[in-house]
Structure 1
């Protein structure tokens, strides 16, 4: 019996060719990034199976979400893991390489045979040979030399063919390696009442992407006691990503959150506190071993409490006047646990080994300077800065390059500093 059910419309979307449809990216510090990409579709009336291929292989399956606009209904979303069938291609390449090496060795041996026959013929003394010996040598030498020359010609053709096959296999293996970075596919089943265009928003979290804060501290030292010293703090982010997916012209956000996929709250064992049982009165000989055990238990009980480390409150940061206008990020959201910085404009972050730097803000802050000298230990005079972070930005722990009068002075470290908090920084 033939079913009257209409055949579902199948749509294949190659995401590698549509990286320009990535709308926004939020990069976390903890090797995570959230991607939002648009998928434009021409739907047919009825059921549509939309297969979105060549997504990054580092996509977290549980993070995938699909939303859409229009009257169509999303029925199902199916995740397809990357193929693990990469070993067969490498085996083929290895076999072809060995075959080529065998042909090259055979050609070398055959070439040596040809040279040996030629050298042997030149060593014959024609004055001491009669015509019959010469004729016998030529009857043997001619066909043998022709056979060797023919075999060399055949081997050259086989080597050329084997080299071509090896090059093609290596190219395919290279493509497989690159394709392995984008091996995930997602199938979305959409039911449309009529033929219409639609747009899906595919959101997912990938690994192999992170950012870290970097700082340039530029000081303007007061010329007189009446003047105030200032610091320009260039707050930047260094972004790296090797997801296999390029992020061209995207709305970029940086989050201080640390999403832990699949983690759980750690459990601890309780500590039992009490008094040891009184030691029994024993004879001297019997007491020695028993008392030692009791005292050892007593010591282990009392030594069970851990050593407490005093907590240090976060301290603050510094900054000064910016020499030129630089785009400034805005704080999109500030929660109890994290802050998200929105980078203005659009950003291009390709998938490579490079570090891509964007400016978060340039903060102009007043500094209270102190010169400290310990002449008994060292002749140098040290400059420290007390700075209050009067900006809306939370300063994260990171490396800082210190400049004074546009000259590099030293490398330093900035600790976590909340808004309106104080930080003391060794300057030089």
Structure 2
């Protein structure tokens, strides 16, 4: 169906159709069309509707009522198939249709039954009142004592019978009224007419009578989707992997139900005002007080600070005119920035691709999402990703052992920011905010506290000694013992224990690490055969940078300066050990126990008051 001006047909080859006046076609979106697809974005949805109807030769005016109130007018587009052309499209908001009375044979029968029960209930209530009124009018002095008990029993029997009748009628009427409400809901159909207040009018010129198809696409507000995850890790399994259920939570309150349609989830976001900034010249000069304040304000990066002069409360008219002119200029520049047009958005494909952050997920099959503002979950993918479990503890601060999984996204899916529900060994442990993770990228997932690994952090052992004849010095020797027990039925292959030694800030105070025997990197001697960074004394970390070789403490236990695995360049090697932090990497067998020892000395002149030793 070409639009006006389409070169699809030549005026010389096809005679113009006879003009029979305008033919109006009234359509209701919910009754005369079907939603064929919905693309849901983070803050709106794009809906595609298909209309099929017959047109007459000449001009046809198609009026589509019942479009949702959340429709964005500037997003409405129409295309068509058939021997006709689209001339014009207009969108308008109309008042919601009046609510019509609802009736049906079944509903009439239920209402008649309800009225019958209501009349019977009123009669029974009147009978109760009459019985009470009659009983109160009896004159006790005129009643024989032998007849009194018989009258009271008769009153009780009659009242009990009437009360049971009232209760039964109320129960029956309640059941009938519930059926009436259900039948009214069935006959009433769509209750969201008040939310369908948009009308589209489309002019179509047909070259002959026949059927045509009209495809309407539009964006609606009050629709969104967000990624959620279920991450499951089994610490007892020999196969180290993480099961991730990648889900989408769809919520919409657009005013129309999406019934039996294909749903796609889009990761693209609307970008407003995205443009490449302009880098201005960076000017420097010698400070000259005689320069005008206007010139100083235009300086992009002032390199001096001077005291601002106090301003008089009254300014000259010329100054006021200049200030007003500058204010108007700034306002114009702000308006120009705000009025920049949106960036063009490319079309999305249905294939999952890791080459871009704008990806489309297609939900298999057809799905129904009602306009109820309730989250509806769909599963995007079930992923099984490789995971490395790592236990971390800082017993000086907290003796509990923290468990985390280092997971690599080896799938083709881009994992978006979202809330993850974490399960360890089948039990829910925490909620975790998953960061943006691209394919082949890794992330850390915190799995909570592992109480099956127990750590005992003994009190710090201290010893003081003196040395020297002329320049006497005192040496403080410290020993810290750490005991670790694994109560699991499987071995713990990667437990990291963090601790530290003091760092001297005074030339007269020296700190020497005894055990583990780590030494600081000597960058200056790296080119010599004895340098600490020589190939024989270094290893490559996980980022490919050569760092000092870890020290083997015992079987399955090595020590190194904290941060060695995270050094990304050779320039960061010289910072190792400057903060005094040490990490032991331990492998503990099932039901096994290991002991760690941290020894260091602090030397200073005799009588020196060393601060910080109390920590």
TM-score range, shorter-chain basis? 0.5 to 0.7
User: 1:362 matched to which residue of 2?
Assistant: 382
User: 1:383 matched to which residue of 2?
Assistant: 403
Deviation at 1:56, TM superposition (A): 1.1
2:248 counterpart of 1:237: yes
Contact 1:255 1:341 in 2 (8 A): yes
Q: 1:333 to 1:36 in 2, by over 3 A?
A: farther
Deviation at 1:333, TM superposition (A): 5.6
Q: Deviations over 1:267-317 (max 9, x none)?
A: 97968642451569xxxxxxxxxxxx96246xxxxxxxxxxxxxxxxxxxx
Contact 1:43 1:195 in 2 (8 A): yes
2:32 counterpart of 1:23: no
Contact 1:82 1:180 in 2 (8 A): no
- Residue 63 of structure 1, aligned match among 65, 70, 75: 75
Q: 1:334 to 1:25 in 2, by over 3 A?
A: farther
- Residue 50 of structure 1, aligned match among 53, 58, 62: 62
- Residue 349 of structure 1, aligned match among 364, 369, 383: 369
Contact 2:229 2:418 in 1 (8 A): yes
What secondary structure is seen at the aligned counterpart in 2 of 1:295?
A: coil
Q: Deviations over 1:232-271 (max 9, x none)?
A: 10010111111001001111000011125xx434797968
What secondary structure is seen at the aligned counterpart in 2 of 1:353?
A: coil
Partner Cα distance (2:360, 2:225) in 1: 12
Partner Cα distance (2:387, 2:38) in 1: 36
Partner Cα distance (1:267, 1:347) in 2: 41
Contact 2:32 2:52 in 1 (8 A): no
Partner Cα distance (1:71, 1:333) in 2: 39
Contact 1:333 1:341 in 2 (8 A): no
Contact 1:279 1:294 in 2 (8 A): no
Matching of residues 248-397 of structure 1 within 5 Å: 248-260=259-271, 263-265=272-274, 273-278=283-288, 295-296=306-307, 331-332=351-352, 336-397=356-417
Q: 1:43 to 1:209 in 2, by over 3 A?
A: same
What secondary structure is seen at the aligned counterpart in 2 of 1:62?
A: helix
User: Is the helix fraction higher in 1 or 2?
Assistant: 1
Contact 1:14 1:52 in 2 (8 A): yes
Partner Cα distance (1:332, 1:343) in 2: 12
Partner Cα distance (2:19, 2:63) in 1: 21
User: 1:130 matched to which residue of 2?
Assistant: none
User: 1:181 matched to which residue of 2?
Assistant: 195
2:41 counterpart of 1:37: no
Matching of residues 409-424 of structure 1 within 5 Å: 409-424=429-444
Deviation at 1:178, TM superposition (A): 4.4
TM-score, normalization by structure 1: 0.61
User: 1:399 matched to which residue of 2?
Assistant: 419
- Residue 198 of structure 1, aligned match among 212, 219, 225: 212
Unpaired segments of 5 or more residues in structure 1?
87-174, 281-292, 298-329
User: 1:131 matched to which residue of 2?
Assistant: none
Partner Cα distance (2:25, 2:289) in 1: 82
Unpaired segments of 5 or more residues in structure 2?
1-17, 99-188, 291-303, 309-349, 449-615
User: 2:226 matched to which residue of 1?
Assistant: 212
User: 2:180 matched to which residue of 1?
Assistant: none
Partner Cα distance (2:411, 2:48) in 1: 30
Q: Higher RCO, 1 or 2 (CA under 8 Å, sep at least 6)?
A: 1
Deviation at 1:7, TM superposition (A): 2.1
Partner Cα distance (1:49, 1:83) in 2: 20
What secondary structure is seen at the aligned counterpart in 1 of 2:373?
A: strand
TM-score, normalization by structure 2: 0.43
Contact 1:334 1:340 in 2 (8 A): no
Partner Cα distance (1:63, 1:371) in 2: 53
State the aligned residue count.
288
